[in-house]
Structure 1
Amino acid sequence: LRDMRHENLNLLLGLFFDGGVFGVVMEHCTRGSLEDLLNNEDMRLDWMFKSSLLTDLIRGMKYLHHRNIVHGRLKSRNCVVDGRFVLKVGEYGFNEITRAQGLVTPESRPEELLWTAPELLRNPALEKKGTYKGDIYSFAIIMQEVISRNSPFCMLDASSREEIIEKVRSPPPLCRPAVSMDEAPLECIQIMKKSWSEEPERRPTFEEVFIEFKSINKGKKTNIIDSMLRMLEQYSSNLEDLIRERTEELEVERTKTENLVAQMLPR
């Protein structure tokens, strides 16, 4: 794990065990997790920005699967974003580490299982290991988070987390998030729906998802810096209009004040 190097993997620095605490040391990313970024209302995310984050996630997971490593814990909370807005997959290999160390991990809370594939929910032993197809399902749920910029299954507000997990575990009816068609390109929503298919063998691989994503972007590399510069230009233009409008209002008020003073005092 320490030898793995990829710009979309969060670098594993090592392990430590001290005072009864077992820890995994990973590279610090200044912008926190993907979940933090999506919840930051001050951060404007256009489709180019979202597409860039998803492409980074796909590339990181494609590399992991090429190296025959199942993530098994993929969620927006363990995908981190560095200072250059590059997304990096974290917490990979944790299941192997905990098994190798003979650590007893606590049972997952319902809010931690929202990214877990239905076949893994039905088999706790398999859930501890994870599967390649299970990682694809988790990716689809993260796609819903990024596209709608909201929590997993956010449209099922009436249902508790436990109820959602039970519905996913025991269909019919099939329980999946709903995403508005105007929030992302149709092809992107189709990839998401294929990736959370109830039948694992019908889900695509990350290699296939990567190829489809490239065709959506017409082969262009999504550049987050270009996207931010466009947003800054637009902000600057809007600011100029706003200043012009306020200056005109100020001029009108000043004229009114001068006329009022001229009525009371000699010019």
Structure 2
Amino acid sequence: MSPDLLLNQENALPWTERLNFARDIARGMEYLHERNIYHRDLTSRNCLLRELPNNSRQAVVADFGLARVVQVEPNTQPDSPRKMSVVGSAYWMAPEMMRGEVYNKKVDVFSFGITLCEMIARVHADPDDLPRTNSFGLDVEHFRQKCEDCPPAFLQLAERCCDLDPSVRPWFSDIVSITTAIIQELDSAPNGKYDITSRGSSIRRRQ
């Protein structure tokens, strides 16, 4: 995704479209993880957009230069953390990888979470713009101040994906289900609990 799309507030980016991008990326990552492929460099700039015949856009996961197929050792759990190289882009890198610890597929979920934060607040992942903690996590309190209009469930999903504890982060299969449910809720918004502006810049609760 280009910085102009994410950062330029003059470009309309409705919440439904952001959620569809999130689901597209999650589906792509689910496909990789089902085949024991770790991306290890999932960032907003490594998610490309393509135009569809119906004039909508679809997000596609790209740049597999640091990806790795992880062989499952006998008598071990498929998703057991293991020692692997510290690779990727620092702003999106999971804390456990940053510290050189063992890790599993959940490092990709953390990177996805940072990408969600970029989409939600329309800021760059640079800690000068996206609040972070000293432990390399998301500074939830200060981040929320940047996204008051975000659908609560979408914000909560981003926060879970960025949790310091990998076991708290959802799997991409769960993320696909969660984003689908939020999209369905927003699709019913005109007669429901949200008002969606024509530019998609805000969603406000009805009183």
TM-score normalised by length of structure 2: 0.68
**Which one scores higher on RCO, CA 8 angstroms, separation ≥ 6?**
2
Task: Give 1:168's aligned amino acid.
Answer: S
Aligned length: 169
Give the Cα–Cα distance (whole angstroms) in 2 for the partners of residues 38 and 188 of structure 1: 17
Q: 5+ unaligned residues in a row in structure 2: which ranges?
A: 70-84, 188-196, 200-207
Q: Which residue number corresponds to residue 93 of structure 2?
A: 116
Report the alpha carbon displacement of residue 219 of structure 1 after superposing the two structures with TM. 7.4
Give the Cα–Cα distance (whole angstroms) in 2 for the partners of residues 151 and 75 of structure 1: 11
Q: 5+ unaligned residues in a row in structure 1: which ranges?
A: 1-32, 98-104, 222-229, 233-267
Report the alpha carbon displacement of residue 135 of structure 1 after superposing the two structures with TM. 0.6
Counterpart pick for 1:148 among 110, 118, 121: 121
Question: Is 2:100 the partner of 1:133?
Answer: no
Report the alpha carbon displacement of residue 153 of structure 1 after superposing the two structures with TM. 5.4
Map 1:61-210 to 2 at 5 A. Answer: 61-84=29-52, 85-92=57-64, 94-96=66-68, 112-123=89-100, 131-152=104-125, 156=128, 167-169=134-136, 175=139, 178-179=143-144, 180=146, 182-210=148-176
Q: Does structure 2 conserve the Cα–Cα contact (< 8 Å) formed by 1:69 and 1:93?
A: no
Give the Cα–Cα distance (whole angstroms) in 2 for the partners of residues 231 and 43 of structure 1: 12
% identical equivalent positions:
27
Map 1:223-238 to 2 at 5 A. Answer: none
CA RMSD of aligned residues (A): 3.4
Q: Does structure 2 conserve the Cα–Cα contact (< 8 Å) formed by 1:70 and 1:93?
A: no
Give the Cα–Cα distance (whole angstroms) in 1 for the partners of residues 108 and 24 of structure 2: 15
Q: Counting helix residues as a fraction of each chain, which structure ranks higher?
A: 1
